[in-house]
Amino acid sequence: MKADELREMFLGFFESKGHTRISGASLIPENDPTVLFTTAGMHPLVPYLLGEPHPSGTRLCDVQKCIRTGDIEEVGDASHLTFFEMLGNWSLGDYFKEEAIAWSYEFLTSKSYLGFDPDRLSVTVFEGEEGIPLDQQSIDIWKKIGVPDSRIHPCPRSDNWWGPAGQTGPCGPDTEMFIDTDPGGPAASGAPGDSPARFFEIWNDVFMQYNKTAQGDHEPLEKSNVDTGMGVERTIAMLQGKRSVFDTELFTPVVETIADSCGKSMDESDEIARAFRVVADHVRSAVFILGDDKSVTPSNLGQGYVLRRLIRRSVRFAKNLGLPVGFSKAIARTVIENYRHVYPELERNSARIVSELAGEEEKFEATLSRGMGELEKVIARMKEHNQTVVPGRLVFRLYDTCGFPLEFTEEICREQDLEIDREGYDKAFDKHREVSKKGAEKSFKGGLADHSEATTRLHTATHLLHKGLQMVLGDHAQQRGSNITPDRLRFDFSHPQKMTDDEKRQVEEIVNRAIQDSLAVSMEVMTLEDARKLGAMALFDAKYDEQIKVYRMGDFSTEVCGGPHVENTKELGAFRIVKEEASSAGVRRIRAVLE
């Protein structure tokens, strides 16, 4: 079975169970200061998991693009990826564990669907802790279906608990499903997660049945939700009998492009195989980030920094393969060709993708040249003083200030009969990482899809701002992203040059006039075509569901949006633009507050 068949089969299966197929969301989260990218299918649906009615009903299914960088150092093994596709089915206060587990088992083992041998399936469940009981209900359901005790493994919170999106909110136990890749081998001991090389995690059913309070208590939810996730890449690898996700049709064209460019094969050594996988994964991830309709570009902050890190790590491992300068362009075109029928935004934005990749690769080549110059000075001083161990702090400084990779330093020093103080480097790196972590926690503090009064007011104000920008600058001023905390709004929009002081003043006046006019805010569910006819603002090139929400603010603004909003603009207060600046090429950014 190929990935195209899997996506369609999954969605069709859950449509037969009464689910509505909805579109996946952007990789760039809306109004969410806690995450840089959409890391799971649940992120775009958090408002609905918190109780807001979804226009498509209470049973949903989708395919979601995801980026996760927490395991970036693990990329290069058989299964870890930075970008991946997640299949999901959702119950918003509808069915619960009985149906979710039964349907998971049916889809996995039925000959009409994936047809895995039931004897290859092992599952884990939440073992319980003080104040929260063992998930006996899930155990009983798995047993009832036919999974024996020997393949049902209770595990702690670290393995089988899905926490709230923020500090508080819906959470609960989950049950994870694993496929045994060596069912005839020696009997496995412990939970499947203890033997990741043998057991591939393939599906996760999350049961949101508690609400975590500010006091840390877990209260039962009035309406429980189901949130599931099945990884396309991992599932395809198991269905095709592959040991690695990189051996499937989702990666083989990319691997072949790399091999043609460097004249090497993945089979040569473990080191070469890892370099192939890192380059393939990181360039593919960069293509999807750059190809998103709310694209970010490489920078030293936030999402742009993650993108830059991916591209630069790909360059580093490309060096190990002997890939020529400019290697990323050919790989990017292969990725676009491989996915354009599923994600047309990649072809639509192909020129930007290739240009940004090539530019960042070129910049990093210059960085490496500078780093090489600094390293040569260090080596000369070492030899001058008859020293054989390069201090770790100097090695880290090369990495931190020049972006010079540790592996490069190690290899070059080895050629010069020098060692590096790896322990000193690790200490310097850990100190840097701790400082960075604290900074990130401070920068992205806040609630996921925050429904506080302050955030709701600021979100509503973005509609007025969007319309005001179009009235002053022209219809080309289209939204390209936003980020909202309880303290301020940040709004990105397409515009070729810096706004003048007069233009900013005009926009402020228009927004404040709309606030003073006490415009009623109303919502209507309709089709995308009907929204077009109304003249609603939206990213019409992006994917939307069949039924969407359209918010109107009197006769002033009509826009496709998911909320939250105030009931009347008079609740907003006074609008003030704090700053207008460049975000990326052709995109400007406004930061504003309500006073």
Distance of alpha carbon 459 from its chain centroid, rounded?
22
Residue 504, domain member (yes or no): yes
pLDDT class of 397 with cuts at 50, 70, 90: confident
Q: What is the pLDDT of residue 31?
A: 60
Say if 379 falls within a structural domain.
Answer: no
User: Do 210 and 268 belong together in one domain?
Assistant: no
Query: For position 545, what pLDDT does the model report?
Result: 67
Instruction: Quote the CA–CA distance of 69 and 571 in Å, as a whole number.
Output: 39
CB-based contacts of 445, cutoff 8 Å, min separation 6: 33, 34
Does the pTM of the predicted model rise above 0.75?
no
Domain end residue (candidates: 316, 337, 367): 367
Residue 73, phi-psi category: left (phi > 0), alpha (psi -120 to 50), beta (remainder): alpha
- pLDDT of 451: 64
Percent of the chain at pLDDT exceeding 90: 56
β-bridge mates for residue 205, sequence order: 175, 228
What does the pLDDT average to over 363-392? 87
The residues facing 173 across adjacent strands are 161
Within a domain: residue 31? yes
User: Per-residue pLDDT for 418 more than 90?
Assistant: yes
Answer whether 161's CB lies under 8 Å from 126's CB: yes
In a domain, 380, yes or no: no
- From the number of C-beta atoms within 10 Å of its C-beta (0-12, 13-18, 19+), residue 363 rates as middle
Same domain for 513 and 590? yes
Cβ proximity of 160 and 126 under 8 Å: yes
Q: How many CB atoms lie within 10 A of CB 129?
A: 11
Query: What is the pLDDT, as a whole number, of residue 134?
Result: 95
Range of the domain at 197: 3-243
Taking all residues of the chain, what is their mean pLDDT, rounded to a whole number? 88
Q: Are 535 and 410 part of one and the same domain?
A: no
Does residue 433 share a domain with residue 323?
Answer: no
- 7 and 153, same domain (yes or no): yes
Using pLDDT thresholds of 50, 70 and 90, give the confidence band for residue 433. low
Among candidate residues 354, 389, 396, 353, the one with its CA nearest the CA of residue 374: 396
Query: Tens digits of per-residue pLDDT, 524-558?
Result: 888 888 888 888 887 645 566 667 888 999 989 99
Examine the pLDDT at 442 and tell me if it is beyond 70. Answer: no
Mean of pLDDT values over 13-33? 88
Q: Which alpha helices (H) appear in 146-226, and where do they start and end? A: 157-160
User: Do 142 and 261 belong together in one domain?
Assistant: no
Token duo for residue 486: 């309880």
Q: Looking at the structure, tell me whether residues 392 and 497 fall in a common domain.
A: no
Same domain, 157 and 230: yes
Q: Is pLDDT above 90 for 165?
A: no
User: Distance between CA 558 and CA 538 in Å, rounded?
Assistant: 9
The encoded tokens of residue 68 equal 């996760």
Specify the amino acid at residue 156.
P
Domain end call among 216, 243, 270: 243
CATH number at residue 512: 3.30.980.10
The lowest-confidence range among 139-153, 440-454, 575-589 is 440-454
Q: What's the domain count of the chain?
A: 4
**Cα dihedral angle (465, 468, 474, 476), rounded to 10 degrees?**
20
Alpha helices in 82-209 (DSSP H): 97-109, 136-145, 157-160
CA gap 329, 213 in Å, rounded: 49
Same-domain status, 124 and 239 = yes
**pLDDT above 50 for 441:** no
Q: Is residue 376 situated within a structural domain?
A: no
53 forms beta bridges with none
Q: Is 166 inside any structural domain?
A: yes
Q: Is 76 left (phi over 0), alpha (psi -120 to 50) or beta?
A: left
169 with 201, same domain: the answer is yes
Can you tell me the mean pLDDT for 104-117?
96
In terms of domains, do 201 and 75 share one?
A: yes
Q: What digits encode the pLDDT tens for the residues 166-209?
A: 677 778 999 999 999 888 777 777 788 888 778 888 999 999 99
Residue 513: helix, strand or coil by DSSP?
helix
User: Within a domain: residue 14?
Assistant: yes
Which is it for the CA torsion 284, 286, 287, 291, positive or negative?
positive
Return the closest-CA partner of residue 228 out of 275, 176, 269. 176
For residues 254 and 276, what is the distance between their CA atoms, to the nearest angstrom? 9
pLDDT at 466 (0 to 100): 94
Q: Is 337 exposed, middle or buried (0-12, 13-18, 19+ CB in 10 A)?
A: middle
Q: How far apart are the two ends of the chain, measured CA to CA in Å?
A: 57
- Asked whether residue 288 falls in the same domain as residue 401, the answer is no
CATH code of the domain containing 52: 3.30.930.10
